């Protein structure tokens, strides 16, 4: 009789039981799994009102309901509203990268809680929650889509319908890390389409897209266009972290 599989199972159970939970960012031992140590926690910049009614850019002063930032006043993005839980900066970058690349998906419930607070209104208004998709080759390499994990966690938390494969990537797009806004727009133009089996479910609905990071919004706008073409009445975006640039006023 082969006891090896049973032994391996109990060994991994034992490891889980012995190994203490680690800070999602720095790996320091913490009390609860999926949490941060005090230092990493206090370095994060959480976002909330007052902010641009459209893109969610934080304002220093409350400018009244419906106020828009300079960029949205000049040209409204294709999505309706965007909100983010955190500023994407030196403090949050490592957290996001570990979630994305280093299998620290035990942070999903914590992140979903932050996002559910930041995007409470968007979630309440949404008929369908859907992640920004990864191309399948990238999915094979990474093994999981961090946006889909967040979408599922937020849906479970707020009792909302999640459709993980609502959108598909028609083609792999180049990594956008070093691209500027117009280059990103070209890179992702037409890259997204509705899943052929899902096209009917979108007409007349409000969609909430979920992603990990918002930089220029080019990806979100490309997704929004595909959804609007299929008849979505609104497309909102909720992310874990967004870049906050100082804008000319
Ligand atoms: Zn830490
Ligand atoms: Zn704005």
Residue 17: pLDDT band by 50, 70, 90 thresholds?
low
What is the predicted pLDDT for the residue at 249? 46
Tokens standing for residue 119: 């995007």
Q: What is the pTM of this model?
A: 0.87
Residues with CB under 5 A from ligand 2 (ion): 52, 54-55, 57, 69, 72
What is the predicted pLDDT for the residue at 125? 98
Angstrom distance (rounded) from CA 29 to CA 247: 39
Which residue has tokens 């005090």? 38
Convert the pLDDT of each residue in 75-128 to its tens digit.
Answer: 999 999 999 999 999 999 999 999 988 778 889 999 999 999 999 999 999 999
Higher pLDDT, 243 or 178: 243
Convert the pLDDT of each residue in 230-246 to its tens digit.
Answer: 999 999 999 999 999 76
3-state SS of 123-179 is HHHCCEEEECCCCHHHHHHHCCCHHHHHHHHHHHHHCCCECCCCEEECCCCCCCCCC
Angstrom distance (rounded) from CA 6 to CA 226: 49
The ligand placed nearest to the CA atom of residue 57 is 2
What is the predicted pLDDT for the residue at 189? 72
Distance 51 CA to ligand 2 centre (A): 8
Rounded to an integer, the average pLDDT of 152-167 is 96
Q: How much is the CA Rg of the chain, to the nearest whole Å?
A: 19
The ligand placed nearest to the CA atom of residue 237 is 2
What is the predicted pLDDT for the residue at 238? 98
Distance 111 CA to ligand 2 centre (A): 23
Distance 93 CA to ligand 1 centre (A): 13
What is the predicted pLDDT for the residue at 197? 87
Which residue has tokens 């191309």? 135
Distance 111 CA to ligand 1 centre (A): 15
Rounded to an integer, the average pLDDT of 208-232 is 94
Mean pLDDT for all residues in the chain: 88
Answer yes or no: are the C-beta atoms of 115 and 229 closer than 8 Å: no
The ligand placed nearest to the CA atom of residue 80 is 2
């Amino acid at each position: 009789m082969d006891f090896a599989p049973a032994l391996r199972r109990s060994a991994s159970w034992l490891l889980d039981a012995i190994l203490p939970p680690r800070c999602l960012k720095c790996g320091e031992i913490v009390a609860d799994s999926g949490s941060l140590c005090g230092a990493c926690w206090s370095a994060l910049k959480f976002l909330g009102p007052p902010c641009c009614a459209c893109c969610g850019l934080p304002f220093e002063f409350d400018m009244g309901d419906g106020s828009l930032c300079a960029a949205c006043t000049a040209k409204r993005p294709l999505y309706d509203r965007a909100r983010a839980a955190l500023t994407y900066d030196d403090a949050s970058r490592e957290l996001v990268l570990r979630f994305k690349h280093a299998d620290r998906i035990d942070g999903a419930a914590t992140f979903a809680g932050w996002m559910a607070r930041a995007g409470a209104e968007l979630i309440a208004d949404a008929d369908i929650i859907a992640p920004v998709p990864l191309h399948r080759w990238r999915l094979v390499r990474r093994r999981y889509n961090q946006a889909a994990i967040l979408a599922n966690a937020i849906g479970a938390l707020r009792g909302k319908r999640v459709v993980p494969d609502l959108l598909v990537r028609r083609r792999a797009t180049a990594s956008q890390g070093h691209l500027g806004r117009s280059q990103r727009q070209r890179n992702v133009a037409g890259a997204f389409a509705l899943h052929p089996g899902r096209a009917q479910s979108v007409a007349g609905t409000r969609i909430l897209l979920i992603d990990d990071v918002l930089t220029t919004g080019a990806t979100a706008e490309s997704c929004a266009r595909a959804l609007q073409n299929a008849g979505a009445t609104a497309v909102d975006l909720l992310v874990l972290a967004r870049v906050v640039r100082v804008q000319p006023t």
